[in-house]
Amino acid sequence: MPTATSTTATATNTSTTATSGILHRLFSTDQDVKLKALRQLKNQIIGNRTKKLSFLKLGAVPSVAAILAEAVLADDGDRNNSFNKNVIVQSAAVLGSFACGFDAGVQAVLAAGAFPDLLRLLSNLDEKVVDAGARSVKMIYQSKLAPKYDFLQEKNMEFLLSLLNSESETVSGLGASIITHSCKTSVEQKILFDAGVLKKLSSLLEGSLSQKDSSLESLATIFKDNPEVVLKFVGSESGRALSSIIELVKDKFARTRLLASLCLIVIRNTSPCYLQDIAVKTKLVNTLLELLGDPGQVGDEASFALSSLIVQKEDMQKLAFENNAIDKLYCHLQKDSLNPRRFEGILLALADMCSKLECCRSRFLSSQVLNSVVDAVAHDSADVRSAACICFKSVARSIQNLSAGSFLTEAVVIPLVRVLDDPSTSVQVAALGVISNIVVDFTARRSIFIKCGGVKQLVQLSKSMDAAIRLNALWALRNLMFQAESKCKEGVFMELTASLLASLICDPEPFVQEQALALVRNLVDGCISSVEYVFAEDGIILDAVGRQLQSALKAEIGIQGMYVLSNVATGEEFHKEAVLNQLIPHAETGSQAYIIKFLQSNDSRLRTAAVWTVVNLTNSLSPGAVDRLEILRGAGIVSQINNMQNDPCLDVKLRVKTALGQFKTLDTCLSHTFLWRLPLAGYITLLSFFFAIKAV
Amino acid sequence: MPVRVAESSAPSQVPEAANPGQTSPQACTLLSVGQAFSGTQNVSSLQKEEAWRVNVRIQGCDLEHGYLCGTMEALNVPMADTPVVTFWEGEIVDTKNYTFFTDKWEATSEEDIKHWTKFPSFSPLLNQVEVDGGKSLDLSNYPHIFMRWKEQYFVNVGTDCGLTIAGFYYVCFSCSDGSINGYYYDPNSSPFQKLELKSTNEGRSGFSSSSYELQ
């Protein structure tokens, strides 16, 4: 409507005029006007991101930085020069406000060269100036863009200690923030410990709210992945400092409870021997579950903290399960208008909860949470989509539900196949992870996946330039082929083609090679005619397997490759001969058969796979087994197997026993055949030889 | 394998004492996922000699948790039109996750011993099992794997099919040849129904295998 537009335009014009007015007054020669303009600017931008951005665009930060620099230069230490001090305090406050929670602001303050001037304020004699400087520098240190503080320089460490020892809580808090921001390496952790920083930080745990919070964050930074420092800290003063942190998990302030929990989680994850007390562990779990209800940032971060507490730890997952973590997380997931960060965190916490224990998965599936997770696969935020897939992947590890075919429904498969086209690689990889699990099918429901276009997509993705996508697409195809019906195999093979499979077996990435070989292994298992797949296009696949085995970089490649050969060797004579040709090097190369290397491997799984191949080649019922045994003997394989009769691995030992049993049967056959076939002259020679020996 | 409702080689040495937490059996390729077995279950009663043909396939295996699962198909069940398929879950007696004592499913330790002793390969373990259920035995290198298989649900028929899966099997698997012997236990069914299965190669000349890996 014309009226409304006109009003808006007027309001915008007024606002722009006011904004440029303030900036204009910053350059006033009248010091009062300048000071007033600084105050106005500060009041306008505090907590207002939009205003910060518009003043930033108008170049306010360099102007204020220039005012600060001039005032610092003019500062003569005279405590009575209150006017100049006010200018310093106000301009520092403006710069700090620009930097507060706003990376573009931090960047502008740093670019304007104000950082050294702000640091200089910390040595001022006036407390107000010091406080203003400390606040601003702290804002900068809360951003990743802040310059790294070099603890290795002696004078820097002295300065840091002076900050931590300050009576002012802002200044000591700044010291803690610098540590949180800049301490990254174990050398830095050690040097901070040696300088007595932990003792100082521990004393701050008794201080004000902001001192406690800053100290907890710094302590966690110094402990992270450094068991030596954790050991010294926990052992000091009979664990009094550790007890203080445990107490703070019950603090009345939510943020302090979260930070204390995070600090304990770092200690536990760094040195699992500590914090084994069931009461402390339960308190941690319950505190984090309760903090999920906090409406602010603490609530957003609580689920991530819970994840770091339980990730890969079955005992903690069980404890969380017993404290109704699944139900509570689900309850928060159902809330309307979750912000993406919170949504992501809850999904990832559910993923960690369901990563190992079936009781968690079955609780998850008995509620309707899977529907919410499937819906989240199509969320606007890529992080949420990815987290939803990771969560689903974790639940889909339930073999009971895979056996019941619970996941292969159109309602689940369609959104997952759709998300394979996602613009974000991490979402694609996560979606491939879920698909890898749900296609392990025992109920002949693979057809649903195929009908939804899943196989076409997987084959396309197996040609991706991104190795992670190739790996995961092949992983899904490999699982899809596990015990698949002949028709399904045929369809997948037509889509994949022999030449693509052969090139994937020779992929530059070893993990991709392994999955490609495992896929072929599954392809040639089952119905005997499926062995023919490796002979398509002049045996291009079998040749690729042989080549890859010769240069196998990791045991897993050898294992999957040997099982391909082993499966093919259960076929007809022609198939067995083809496998033997791959195993035995041509005489002219003079090289050792790679299977010998596998039989001597430290990995018992590889030794087992290699022995199975020999067992299948020398199956006593096969007509050509006698000749193959001779060839294997000639290549030194029989004597190697003979040496393995007491293999430390029971499975290898038992397969070796089977192989030796077969060798014996074949040798008996051979000796009978030999005597039967021997011409008369041969008998005579043999008999004369026998009598000659007797005479001797 | 379901049963009717309302029907009522020795190892050379004894395994050493175990290191707690170090006793998971080593993987045996003949008992890996996808492997198939076939044989019979004797369901004879006083009135009638009877055996049903049975096929088993392993679907999942998690040695760390002593867990195994799969399906069991009973082929010539008189009261069923089609083969009856059930899904079962197994507890591997690894003395870490599970001992020889069942402690559930209405099985007392006396009943346990009575069934386990039916397997000749169990006899070297008997003395220790009587003391602590075998908790202190190290079975990681033992050539037989002892398990309990409990059918959980019918895959292809309803629960009203006139069959029951209330009981469970005591199972002994031979790592040498993949043969499986078992005894069904259900206080309300005929005692000691014997299950005998052999590893099958499904028309192949040798051992073939496939695998999947969950992410």
Q: Is B9 on the interface with A (CB under 8 A)?
A: no
Nearest CA-CA distance, residue B104 and chain A, Å = 18
Q: Domain A538-545+556-696 belongs to what topology?
A: Leucine-rich Repeat Variant (1.25.10)
Percentage of chain B exceeding pLDDT 90: 68
In chain B, which among 142-181 make CB contacts under 8 A with chain A? 143, 152-153, 155, 175-176
pLDDT attached to residue A368? 83
DSSP 8-class letter at A463: T
ipTM of the complex, rounded to two decimals: 0.89
Task: Let me know how many helices (H) and strands (E) chain A has, helices first.
Answer: 42, 0
Q: How far is B37 from chain A (nearest CA, A)?
A: 14
A475 reaches B (C-beta below 8 A): yes
B13 near A CB under 8 A: no
B32–chain A Cβ distance below 8 A for any pair: no
**Nearest by Cα to A434 from A463, A481, A398, A488:** A398
Token pair of A544 as six digits = 């690729």
Dist CA A647 CA A613 (whole Å): 17
Confidence of residue B12 (pLDDT cuts 50, 70, 90): very low
Q: Tokens 């000691």 appear where?
A: B192
Mean pLDDT of B176-191: 93
Interface touch A622/B205, C-beta < 8 Å: yes
Between residues A444 and B108, the one the model is more confident about: B108
In chain A, CATH 1.25.10.10 covers: 12-147, 538-545+556-696
Q: Which of B176, B209, B212 sits opposite A567 (nearest CB)?
A: B209
Residues whose CB is less than 8 angstroms from the CB of residue A118 and which lie 6 or more positions away in sequence, other chains included: A68, A92, A95, A133, A136, A137, A140
> What single-letter DSSP state applies at residue A291?
H
- Residue A395 CB contacts under 8 Å (≥ 6 apart), including other chains: A354, A361, A364, A365, A370, A373
Task: Inform me whether the pLDDT recorded for B22 exceeds 60.
Answer: no
A311 close contact with B: CB closer than 8 A: no
What pLDDT shows up at residue A582? Answer: 93
A361 shares contact with chain B (CB less than 8 Å): no
B158-164: long-range pairs with CB below 8 Å, 24+: B161/B2, B161/B79, B161/B80, B161/B84, B162/B4, B162/B5, B162/B79, B163/B2, B163/B3, B163/B4, B163/B5, B163/B77, B163/B79, B163/B80, B163/B84, B164/B2, B164/B3, B164/B4, B164/B5, B164/B188, B164/B189
Q: Residue type at B186?
A: D
> CA A400, CA B132: separation in Å to the nearest integer?
31
Mean pLDDT score, B99-106: 95
What is the per-residue pLDDT for A240?
86
Beta-carbon separation of B26 and A649 below 8 A = yes
**Whole-number CA gyration radius for chain A:** 36
Query: At B4, phi and psi to the nearest 5?
Result: -65, 145
Residue B65 per-residue DSSP state: G
Give the Cα separation of B172 and A81 in Å (integer).
93
By the CB < 8 Å criterion, does A529 face chain B? Answer: no
Residue with tokens 């867990």, as numbered in its chain: B67
Closest partner residue to B27 among A440, A616, A651, by Cβ? Answer: A651
Residue A507 CA to residue A467 CA, distance in Å, equals 9
pLDDT for the residue B7: 40
pLDDT-based confidence at residue B136 (cuts at 50, 70, 90): very high
Find, in chain A, the residue whose alpha carbon is nearest to that of B27.
A651
Chain A contacts of B207, Cβ < 8 Å?
566, 570, 612, 615-616
- What's the gap between Cα A183 and its chain centre? 22
Give the angle A690-A693-A694 at the CA atoms, nearest 5°: 85
Q: Which residue in this structure is represented by tokens 């052992």?
A: A235
Provide the pLDDT confidence category of residue B159 given band limits of 50, 70 and 90: confident
A482 closest CB neighbour out of B26, B34, B141: B34
User: For A18-55, how does the pLDDT look when each residue is reduced to its tens digit (9 = 90+)?
Assistant: 677 888 888 888 888 889 999 999 999 998 889 999 89
The Cα A547–Cα A263 span in angstroms is 52
Q: Does B207 touch chain A (CB under 8 A)?
A: yes
Q: How many whole angstroms separate alpha carbon A604 and alpha carbon A222?
A: 41
> With an 8 Å Cβ cutoff, are B214 and A437 in contact?
yes
Backbone angles phi, psi at B130, to 5 degrees: -65, -30
CB-based contact B63:B145 (threshold 8 Å): no
8-state DSSP, A303:
H
Is the minimum CB–CB distance between B213 and chain A shorter than 8 Å? Answer: yes
The pLDDT, as a whole number, for residue B3 is: 66
State CA A162 to chain mean position distance.
39
Query: Distance (Å, rounded) from C-alpha A120 to C-alpha A128?
Result: 13
Contact A428, A422 (CB under 8 A): yes
Nearest residue in B to A391, CA atom: B215
Choose among B208, B65, B141, B78: nearest CA to A576. Answer: B208
Q: Which pair of structure tokens corresponds to residue A342?
A: 């919170």
| Phi, then psi, of A18 in degrees rounded to 5 | -65, -40
Instruction: Give the chain A residue whose CA is nearest to the CA of B151.
Output: A400
Question: Would the CB atoms of B201 and A393 count as touching at under 8 Å?
Answer: no
**Segment-wise mean pLDDT, segments of 10 residues, chain A, 696 residues:** 42 59 84 90 90 90 93 72 86 94 93 93 89 93 92 90 90 93 94 92 90 94 94 81 94 97 96 90 97 96 98 96 96 91 98 96 91 95 98 95 89 95 97 96 87 95 97 98 94 96 96 98 94 96 95 93 97 95 76 90 96 95 91 94 96 97 87 56 49 46
pLDDT(B110) > 60: yes
Report in angstroms the alpha-carbon separations of A483 from A519, B28, B57: 11, 19, 11
Domain A12-147 CATH (choose: 3.40.1190.10, 3.40.50.150, 1.25.10.10, 1.10.1060.10): 1.25.10.10
Average pLDDT, chain B: 88
Which residue is closest to A647 within chain B, CA to CA? B141
Q: Does A317 touch chain B (CB under 8 A)?
A: no
A526 and B202 within 8 Å at the Cβ level: the answer is: yes
Opening angle at CA B112, ends B108 and B114, nearest 5: 115
Q: Which one, of B195, B155, B154, B201, lies nearest residue B177 by Cα? A: B201
CA–CA dist A162, A166 (Å, integer)? 6
Q: A181: closest CA among A80, A106, A273, A127?
A: A106
Q: Which two tokens stand for residue A586?
A: 């041509």
Nearest Cα residue in chain B from A355: B215
Which residue in this structure is represented by tokens 């020779």? A506
> A442 contacts in B (CB within 8 Å)?
59, 71
pLDDT for the residue numbered A1: 36
With beta carbons under 8 A apart, name residues in chain B contacting A400.
Answer: 69, 87, 89, 152
Chain A touched by B208 (CB under 8 Å): yes
**Chain B partners of A650 at a C-beta cutoff of 8 Å?**
26, 28, 141, 143, 175
